[in-house]
Amino acid sequence: MSDKKLAIIATKGTLDWAYPPFILSSTAAALGYEVQIFFTFYGLQLLKKKLALQVSPLGNPGMPMPMAMDKWFPVLGTAIPGMQSIMTMMMKNKMKAKGVASVGELRDLCHEAEVRMIACQMTVDLFDLNPKEFIDGIDFGGAATFFEFAGEADITLYV
């Protein structure tokens, strides 16, 4: 088996951007990689026990909108109150229908595969986040902690 290493920095806390770190980490682990993810800034949302991730059509012209909404309500339509919840619900339903794993499921698989997850201590302090809200089995550290592993990684990604 390979003894390769993958290091990822996860910086985004939206439903859509939660996927790349967890899909790549779980797959890499299945391929025999040793994997570490460093969660910083909004990426810390991905470590919460209770995931409340949303996807926003606001400022995202690449997002396919249902019923050609983007055609009838360009830009401003995406800012209508409630639009974010609607889009999040629709995205979740679509993912379920297409057999795409939930973020929680992928995160569990990463955990099972011993993917090491590190929460950025500085951001935890900055946003006054409560470490008790995070899942068990994670570590807290800083930039130097990331480099300790990333310095020897074969692949390093910033998501």
Point out which residues bind another protein (CB under 8 A): 1-2, 23, 26-27, 30-32, 98-101, 109
Q: Is 155 in contact with 7 (CB distance < 8 Å)? A: yes
How near is the Cβ of 16 to another protein at its closest, in Å? 15
Cβ neighbors of 120 (< 8 A, separation 6 or more) are: 38, 39, 40, 41, 44, 140, 141, 142
User: Nearer Cβ to another protein, position 23 or 135?
Assistant: 23
How near is the Cβ of 3 to another protein at its closest, in Å? 12
User: Nearer Cβ to another protein, position 1 or 144?
Assistant: 1
User: Nearer Cβ to another protein, position 27 or 121?
Assistant: 27
How near is the Cβ of 106 to another protein at its closest, in Å? 8
How near is the Cβ of 15 to another protein at its closest, in Å? 16
How near is the Cβ of 24 to another protein at its closest, in Å? 8
Cα–Cα distance list, 115 to 23, 80, 89, 109 (Å):
12, 39, 29, 9
User: Nearer Cβ to another protein, position 16 or 70?
Assistant: 16
- The sheet with strand 34-39 has its strands ordered as 139-141, 116-120, 34-39, 5-10, 155-158
User: Nearer Cβ to another protein, position 26 or 36?
Assistant: 26
